[in-house]
Structure 1
Amino acid sequence: MASFNPLARILEDNKLIIPNYIDWKRNLMLVLTAVKVYWVLTTAEPEEPTIDAPQAERDRKQKWTDDNEMAKCYILGSMSNVLQHQHVRMATTAEIMLNVKELFGVQNRTARLIVIKGLVCTKMVDGNPVRDHMLKMMGFLNELDILGAIMDAEMQIDILLTSLLMASESGPVGQDDVNG
């Protein structure tokens, strides 16, 4: 894909292939947001305006059509050739994304389960700074957020505190660790 936008390089380097759906989707959403065409994924296609429709209505339809085509180019350009061929005739980006989700969405659940296991099974290692442990735990929480897992703030705090308590069961956390 020729990079007419520097952000397209992200998609070029992360083309959709079977095992990378989650990373591909995250990168695609970043690019579509940056080039201001993400909205066509979440907004239904406007009805074809009537001949006597106001200019604003005709302009909205044209903008949606243009932005949908731009988003479609980014999406198709970031897919393997086989997937491109499978989706090129779809009219809207929403159709493409729904189909791709149906093909690869099961990976999302598996990925969430792996991250949840890492989150709840990780405990702070004695002698390591608390800051490093918290960064690791925040990484798990961020990944879960990206994967669409819903966890309220209170539950997140409980899990973080539990991971610290598990470490203190084998001995107290030193003052140096608390200060980072």
Structure 2
Amino acid sequence: MSSSNLVTALLSNEKLTRDNYMKWKSNMNIVLICVNHMFFLNEECPEVPNATTAETAKEKYDGWILSNNKVKSYMLAIMSDVLRKKLENDETAYGIWESVQEMFRQQFDKEHVLEMINILHDVEIHSALIYERTQTFESLNKISIKVGEASIVESKPTSSSGKSKKRKSVKGNDKDKDKQTEKTQQVFKHEEQGC
């Protein structure tokens, strides 16, 4: 898509109303970047030339006026009729930009707070799930340890020297451990599926 088609698409996409300031601002930034006028919102108007002003200063001023009118027309083109009438008498695009930001700053703050609340809510939900799975894992780990301890039996056979010696013998084999691991994995799969 060429930059002129993109600009046209964005300009016809959504007009600024009270409900869509952030979308409008985003679209406006894209338009200004496409037409190479983003700098314009930060640049002040050069002094009005007089008869003794150098030709380069006159050209700079004329270029600024053309850019101002272009950016101003883009902004006004994607505003509701009510907002356009309120802002069209502003002399500079920068003045319109500042006025719009001031009008909708509260909406932005409100949207930002609501977004943060949603993010914190998601964190809380995920934290609860993580805690729940951690508790399940710890419970399974404790069960696993108890099962492992139950399979170890202490015996006290006598040595050839007649002294008593403690020796641990393990009942069961690797098949028991494999079954235990398989059961643990099944429990986790079952939880992940939300059952």
Could you say whether these structures have the same fold, taking a TM-score greater than 0.5 normalized by the shorter chain as the test? yes
Residues 82-101 of structure 1: pairs in structure 2 closer than 5 A: 82-101=82-101
What secondary structure does 2:53 align onto?
A: coil
Instruction: Tell whether the 8 Å contact from 1:38 to 1:71 is kept in structure 2 after alignment.
Output: no
Aligned to 2:4: 5
Q: Cα RMSD over matched residues?
A: 2.6
Instruction: Please name the residue that 1:19 is paired with.
Output: 19
Cα distance in 2 between the residues matched to 1:34 and 1:167: 45
Letter in 1 for 2:84: Q
Per-residue CA shift, 1:91-116, capped at 9, x if unaligned? 10111112222222210100110111
Measured against aligned partners, the alpha-carbon deviations of 1:52-88 in whole angstroms (never above 9, x if no partner) come to 3232222211111111100011001001112111111
| 1:170 equivalent in alignment to 2:132 | yes
Runs (4+) off by over 6 Å: none
SS at match of 2:46: coil
Contact 1:47–1:61 (8 Å) recurs in 2: yes
- The answer to whether the 8 Å contact 1:37/1:67 transfers is yes
Structure 1 position 121, deviation (Å): 2.1
Distance in structure 2 (CA, Å) of the matches to 1:48 and 1:98: 22
Residues matched between the structures, number: 135
C-alpha offsets along residues 107-156 of structure 1, whole Å, 9 cap, x if unaligned? 0100110111122221397xxxxxxxxxxxxxxxxxxxxxxxxxxxxxxx
Instruction: Supply the AA of the counterpart residue of 1:25.
Output: K
For 1:170, what is the secondary structure of its paired residue? helix
Aligned 8 A contact 1:18 1:104 in 2 = yes
* Alignment CA distance shift 1:57-1:170 (3 Å): same
3-state SS in 1 of match to 2:58: helix
Looking at secondary structure, tell me which structure has more strand per residue.
Answer: 2
1:112 corresponding residue in structure 2: 112
Report the Cα distance in structure 2 between the residues aligned to 1:60 and 1:87, rounded to whole angstroms: 26
8 Å Cα contact 1:123/1:167 also seen in 2: no
What whole-Å deviation, never above 9, does each CA across 1:27-69 have from its counterpart, x for those lacking one? 1111111111222211111111232323222221111111110
Deviation at 1:166?
A: 5.0
Aligned positions of 1:22-101 closer than 5 A: 22-101=22-101
Which residue number corresponds to residue 122 of structure 2? 122
**Sequence identity of aligned pairs in percent?**
22
Change (3 A) 1:55 1:122: same
For 2:117, the aligned partner's letter is K
Give the number of the structure with larger relative contact order, counting CA–CA contacts within 8 Å between residues 6 or more apart: 1
Q: What is the distance in 2 between the residues matched to 1:105 and 1:8?
A: 27
TM-score, normalization by structure 2? 0.61
Structure 1 or 2, whichever has the larger Rg, is 2
Q: TM-score, normalised by structure 1?
A: 0.66
Say which SS state the counterpart of residue 169 (structure 1) adopts.
Answer: helix
Determine the C-alpha separation between the residues in 1 that align with 2:21 and 2:9.
17
